[in-house]
Structure 1
């Protein structure tokens, strides 16, 4: 069973951002399912975490159970889908605030698909000059195809092209989460579902920074 986490920063209900996130996750689930694997998808609406995010940013000792749940889910995820509305030509402040609260190693090696929504296609490049640098900085493995969906694309040829891009992006994420069928299990690292494999840091537990005594002494002979 693969774990897929979806982060969506839409503010309205219904939300075009959530709709895009659902389309991306459904396409990914379908692709992985066709390869004989199950998928557990967990969705986090950042607008529901807004209060805790504000507390976390202004008081590092604040109790934030729902935010902590999201951090723990990401730490054991096999894949991540992150979607934001475009604000002022970039990602939203709420979206950035969430990733600012994560441990610097929280996304290490995590296969990630990025997407955004906006009123027009004029801001489509924000995927490459805003979102991709953010996730590269956090050491995530971002798939080549990002998805930008504007409200004026629905029912048009551009909308049909977006649907095809969604399928392509989902296949790229599935490749990283599951791996080619001819790959020997346990050798790829990325996408491994072995429970003994190390988990990414949440920044919540002191034990995450604990180094076993045997490891500290590794290589020392006593001479």
Structure 2
């Protein structure tokens, strides 16, 4: 049985968080599909609110510290990512964007990525396509065709007849599973690759 790792990143600010809930539902859908294909899956969940200070410090210093170091290692060594953010003023949150900004520009090349977002009203659902998707496409990630937006009212209905959210989650999970299953196992990334040594910075003196 082959093995794959999926990392979920949720940028919700509250606890409990509908953003984390959507990330969990998406990962469950992907895991179900992968296990049906005979793939063993490990899911690593990351909540950005827990490492917000480390993210800011990394932006100021250029180097990850503390728990953030391990998060970045998991992220870049994953076989697939699920990225979910709340929408503020019709776009992704500042915390989410700050996290994306500190990831090495080549770390997500060809990485299977599933996008999700939460918000108060369905009017903002297109933000997934005009802000989040271009951001990950710029980083050359392999973004799943189906993205999932969940408004506050979407959590009220359970059946597909009254609420399309469960069906959309299953479809998105299936797409990510297909991408992850087809991908070669990723190796661990070197966060400091390309960073000059002290000798190099001092001119080997």
- Pairwise TM-score range, normalised by the shorter structure: 0.7 to 0.9
* Residue 207 (structure 1) shift: 8.2
Farther off after superposition, 159-168 or 81-90: 159-168
TM-score of the aligned structures, taking structure 2 as reference length:
0.88
Residue 39 of structure 2: SS of its match in structure 1? coil
CA, structure 1 residues 158+80, in 2 after alignment: closer, same or farther (shift >3 Å)? farther
C-alpha separation between the residues in 2 aligned to 1:101 and 1:45? 16
Residue of structure 1 in register with 2:59 after alignment: 57
* Residue 74 (structure 1) shift: 1.6
Residue of structure 1 in register with 2:86 after alignment: 85
C-alpha separation between the residues in 2 aligned to 1:160 and 1:105? 38
Residue of structure 2 in register with 1:69 after alignment: 70
Show structure 2 runs of 5+ residues with no match: 197-205
Residue 5 of structure 2: SS of its match in structure 1? strand
C-alpha separation between the residues in 1 aligned to 2:73 and 2:61? 20
Q: Deviations over 1:61-91 (max 9, x none)?
A: 5x51211111111221110000000011000
C-alpha separation between the residues in 2 aligned to 1:69 and 1:198? 15
Show structure 1 runs of 5+ residues with no match: 180-190, 209-223
* Residue 204 (structure 1) shift: 2.5
Farther off after superposition, 33-42 or 159-168: 159-168
Residue of structure 2 in register with 1:174 after alignment: 177
TM-score of the aligned structures, taking structure 1 as reference length:
0.81
C-alpha separation between the residues in 1 aligned to 2:86 and 2:161? 18
Matched, 1:45 2:47: yes
Residue of structure 2 in register with 1:119 after alignment: 120
Runs of 4+ in 1 over 6 A off after TM superposition: none
Contact 1:8 1:18 in 2 (8 A): yes
* Residue 160 (structure 1) shift: 2.5
Matched, 1:152 2:153: yes
Residue of structure 2 in register with 1:192 after alignment: 184
Residue 12 of structure 2: SS of its match in structure 1? coil
C-alpha separation between the residues in 2 aligned to 1:122 and 1:162? 15
The structure number with the bigger radius of gyration is 1
Residue of structure 2 in register with 1:18 after alignment: 20
Contact 2:33 2:177 in 1 (8 A): yes
Matched, 1:164 2:156: no
C-alpha separation between the residues in 2 aligned to 1:34 and 1:100? 35
Number of aligned residues: 192
Residue of structure 1 in register with 2:31 after alignment: 29
C-alpha separation between the residues in 1 aligned to 2:42 and 2:184? 15
